[in-house]
Amino acid sequence: MDQKAQILSTIDEMTIAFHAGDIDGIMRTYEPGAVVVGEPGAAVSGTPALRTMFAGFIAAKAHFTFQGHEVIQAGDIALHLTPWRMAGVAPDGKAVAASGLSVAVLRRQQDCRWLYGNRRSVRRCAPKPPDVAVEHGDLMDEAPNLELLARRAVDGDRDAVASIVRELQANMYALALRMLWHPQDAEDATQEILVRVVTRLAQFDFRSRLRTWAYRVATNYLLDVKKSCVERQKLDFTSFGEDLAEGLSRAGPADHERSILTEEVKIGCTLGMLQCLDRPHRLAYVLGEILDLPAPEAADALDLEPATFRKRLQRAREAIEAFTRAHCGLVSDAGACACNRRVPAAVQLGRVQPNEPRFAGTGSSFAEARELIRRIEEAKRVIELQRGTRPRCATLDFTRRVVSAFNASPVSDPPRRQ
C-alpha cells in the first residue's frame, strides 16, 4: 500500500468510527497531544477534551460526507484537504446542515501508521456539543495565506505576526535539526531564524512565496551559525562508518522488540549521517530530498541557479545512498549495522540516555523499520521500471488522418453557443 493509500485508510477509519459512535475508535486515529480546531480560536487538545467534543458531535447525529481528497506528503508529515458536508440534529431537535473545508496534518508513526496531529475546519454552522447553542455564523477564514498575513504584519498586526510564526516554526525546526543534530541547538537556531523573519518582513518583496523567502533567511543563518557540537567532531563518511562497525552487540533489544532506544539510535544515526556532508550539500539534501521542496523553490531558497542546485543535490544524494547501502542493515543486506545492536554501545558512550531520549517519542523495532524500507525500495524499483520503459512512437500520422476524415465529412454549420 503506498503512502497516500495509508493516509486515506486512516481517514476512512476515523470516519467509520465516527459514524458508528465509536469514540475509542476515533481516538485511535489521533496522536497523543493532537489539536483540533472546530471553532474560531478554540483549539481543543488532550484526551478528555477531545472525547467530550467528539461525543457532542455524535450526540448531534452528525453525518459527514466528503467531496474528494487532496493529500500532500513530505517525508513523515502529510497535509490532507477535503471539502465536507454535514447533516445533523441540534439539541432542540431541529435539523442542521453545514459544509466547509477540513485541513488536517497527519504524521507517520514508528509503526508506519498515519495519525492525525492537527485538524482545522473552515465551515458554516456546524453543530457544537449539546450543552452549547448552535451558531449559524459566517464562513471562517480559510487556512492562513502567508502572503496576506505578511502584509497585515507589516502594517502592525501582531496577531498576523503570531500566525506567521505558528505556520513556519515546524518547517524551520525540521531544517535546523537536520543541520545541527542537537535539539537544543536546533531550537536556539529556530528561534533566531523566526525572529529574523518577522523583523525583516518589510524586506519581503512578494515576488516569491513567503515560505520560500523564510527558507532563504534560514539557510543564510544556518550557513554562518557557529558549528554544533557534532560538527566540531569533523565527521566524514569513512570515520562514521568505522564508528558504526564497532560495538555491535546482541545484548540490545531483539530484532522484533519495540524499543524507544532502538528508535533513538536510528534517528541519531540518520541525523549524524547528514553531518558528514558539508553545509552547502547538507542544505541541498535536506531541502530537496527530506523536506521535498520543488527544485526551483529550493534553488531560490539557496540563491542558486536550478541547474547548480540539481548538481549539488545529486552529489549529496549519491554520497548518502552509497554510505547507507554499504553500512545500514535497514537498507541493505550488505550493511552490518543494526539500530538495536548499536544500543548497548550508544548507552555506554553516553550518546543515548535511556531515561531521557533526545529524539524519539515512541518505540520501534528494527524488523518493522527494515520491512517498511524494503517495501518502499521495491515500490521505487517498480516505478522506475515503468518509467524507463519507452515504447516506440505510433507509426500513424494522426494529423493527416484526422484532417482527411474531417474534410471528407459533410459540411455543416458550426455549432451555435447555447
Local confidence band at 384 (pLDDT 50, 70, 90 cut-offs) = low
- pLDDT score at 139: 29
Q: Element (H or E) spanning 103, and its range?
A: strand 95-108
Look at residue 366 and tell me whether its pLDDT is greater than 90.
yes
From the options 1.20.1070.10, 3.40.50.960, 1.10.10.10, 3.30.300.180, give the CATH code of 234-388: 1.10.10.10
Q: 199: helix, coil or strand?
A: helix
Look at residue 284 and tell me whether its pLDDT is greater than 50.
yes
Cβ 353 vs Cβ 345: under 8 Å: no
CA gap 237, 282 in Å, rounded: 13
Look at residue 19 and tell me whether its pLDDT is greater than 50.
yes
Task: Give the CA angle between residues 146, 149, 151 to the nearest 5°.
Answer: 115
- Considering only CA atoms, which of 198, 196, 124 is closest in space to residue 159? 198
- The alpha carbons of the chain give a radius of gyration, in whole angstroms, of 26
- pLDDT score at 336: 92
CA gap 116, 36 in Å, rounded: 9
Higher-pLDDT residue of 402, 25 = 25
CA gap 246, 210 in Å, rounded: 46
For residue 6 the three cell numbers come to 495509508
Local confidence band at 133 (pLDDT 50, 70, 90 cut-offs) = very low
Give the mean pLDDT of 328-342.
91
* CATH architecture of the domain covering 144-230: Orthogonal Bundle (1.10)
For residue 108 the three cell numbers come to 507517520
As to burial, measured by CB atoms within 10 angstroms (0-12 exposed, 13-18 middle, 19+ buried), residue 248 is: middle
CA gap 288, 275 in Å, rounded: 16
- Considering only CA atoms, which of 325, 292, 269, 256 is closest in space to residue 111? 256
Bridging pattern class, strands 63-66 and 77-89: antiparallel
Domain positions in the chain are 3-123, 144-230, 234-388
CA gap 322, 332 in Å, rounded: 11
CA gap 369, 270 in Å, rounded: 13
pLDDT digits (tens, 9 = 90+) for 163-197: 899 889 888 999 999 999 988 898 999 999 999 99
CA gap 290, 320 in Å, rounded: 12
Phi/psi for 363 (5° steps) reads: -85, 160
- Considering only CA atoms, which of 247, 258, 273, 207 is closest in space to residue 336? 247
Task: Assess if CATH 3.90.76.10 describes domain 3-123.
Answer: no
Local confidence band at 80 (pLDDT 50, 70, 90 cut-offs) = confident
Bridging pattern class, strands 30-39 and 114-123: parallel
- Considering only CA atoms, which of 366, 330, 355, 358 is closest in space to residue 252? 366
**What global pTM score does this model have?**
0.59
Local confidence band at 204 (pLDDT 50, 70, 90 cut-offs) = very high
